[in-house]
Amino acid sequence: MIVLSGADLVLPDRVLAGGTLVLDGDRIAEIVPGPRQASASSSGPASAVAFDLTGHYVVPGFIDVHVHGVEGLDTLESRGAIREIAGRLTKYGVTGFCPTSLACAPDVLRMMLEAVRDARTTRAPGGARVLPAHLESNFINPEFKGAQPLECLRLPPGSHRVHAGSPQTGRADGEWSGEDILREIENARPDVGIITVAPELDAGIPLIESFVSHGHHVSLGHSGATYEQGMLGIRAGATQATHLFNRMPPVAHRAPGLAGAVLESDDIIAELVCDGVHVHPGMMRVALAAKRPDRIMAITDGTAGSGLASGSRAAIGGRAIRIADAAYLDDGTLAGSVLTMDRAFAKLTAEVGLSLSDAATVCSTTPARALGLQGFGVISPGAIADFAVLDRDLRVVQTWIAGTLAWGGPSTSV
């Protein structure tokens, strides 16, 4: 049994100042107001290992459902990259993440999903939990592709109408088609969690329905959908939206577009890139007011440039990026962020104005609920003991996974 005393515990509805967290195995056994000594009869045996966390916060471990890489590593670069990424994300308070792809060829997708399977089934000591992948997929609108490679975009099977800018509908350009991508997904269903789809594509709605019927979470994004097309996607079973406001038409009072449909619908949980570059803090407040923290999940959309110095070079899906306030292709196209989840949490409190509890909801609780992870993303008795310890500047000093210290130095023994 482990006892952590003195920290301010960020609970779902309040911050418990100077509380005590009691761990038993991989679970939170008890939350005690005040120091351990105040409840010695209920805090476990005298032989429990106890630590003093006075002057710190304990928050539920961050869950990032959209991250391409960190510290020079990219999810698509090699079979070993995802396991290495898992090992590096813990220093930023991440306890679980969905490795995220760009549109890519079938053999590259197969390699990534095999790596996801390996890392999910045998978590490396000290590494964050690897969750089923997020495929920022081949089935998006080429006019809203952003940094996605045009040559890898495909229309869904059964489509007959080619969108402007679409490279093809069938076999060409490397001799593979949308059916080949679907075959890779079919062969790795447990390892595919989220799939981004543009609902306005010809045959896009049947594709959404098919993905949902096989247990995947469909996220609407990289899309030029109208409000009406967005609502069709939601009715087809989509439950998420990929980086709200980015790579979709702007909201207008006569044409609310996909973003308007997402803001209106309680059936959709929306990702929000919380770096202040992708979305202005004022628009973050608008989204949070419209959907509430339990329908918004903070993401990094982090790249291999996350954690690197400004001016560095890295890659995303084999394409070179330069690192500044975000990640950019050489032509200036925004290609993801350099954000980490601890800084997203800090920005939500300092610049957006969320309480610590609401920021924890957005960074931890909502993503866990969106993925159907029971007992994760919350500090409460009986929950899985995945949490981060932050200093008063909201910098991570420890990350705990399954009741074990995964990153950071030991605290002072009580």
Enter the pTM of the model.
0.94
Can you tell me whether residue 36 is helix, strand or coil? helix
Residue 43 has a pLDDT of 44
Q: What is the pLDDT of residues 305-330, one digit of tens each?
A: 999 999 999 999 999 999 999 999 99
CATH of the domain at 66: 3.20.20.140
Our count of domains for the chain comes to 2
Q: Please spell the DSSP secondary structure of 318-349, one letter per residue.
A: TEEEEESSSEEETTS-B--B---HHHHHHHHH
Give tens-digit pLDDT for 174-185. Answer: 589 999 999 999
In the prediction, which pLDDT does 48 show? 77
> How far is Cα of residue 8 from the mean position of the Cα atoms in its chain?
25
Query: At 113, which helix (H) or strand (E)?
Result: helix 106-121
Q: Residue 256 sits in which domain range?
A: 62-370
Same domain, residue pair 233 and 301: yes
* CATH code, domain carrying 47: 2.30.40.10
Helix (H) or strand (E) holding 83: helix 81-89
* Residues 6+ positions from 316 with CB-CB distance below 8 Å: 68, 69, 74, 76, 102, 147, 303, 304, 327, 335, 336
Residue at 223: amino acid letter = S
Assess whether 100 and 24 both reside in one domain. Answer: no
pLDDT for the residue 37: 52
Q: Are residues 48 and 154 in the same domain?
A: no
Quick one: average pLDDT of 260-277?
98
Q: For residue 171, how many other CB atoms are within 10 A of its CB? A: 12
Render pLDDT for 33-87 as a digit per residue (tens, 0 to 9). Answer: 987 653 444 444 556 788 899 999 999 999 999 999 999 999 999 999 999 999 9
User: Do 150 and 175 reside in the same domain of the chain?
Assistant: yes
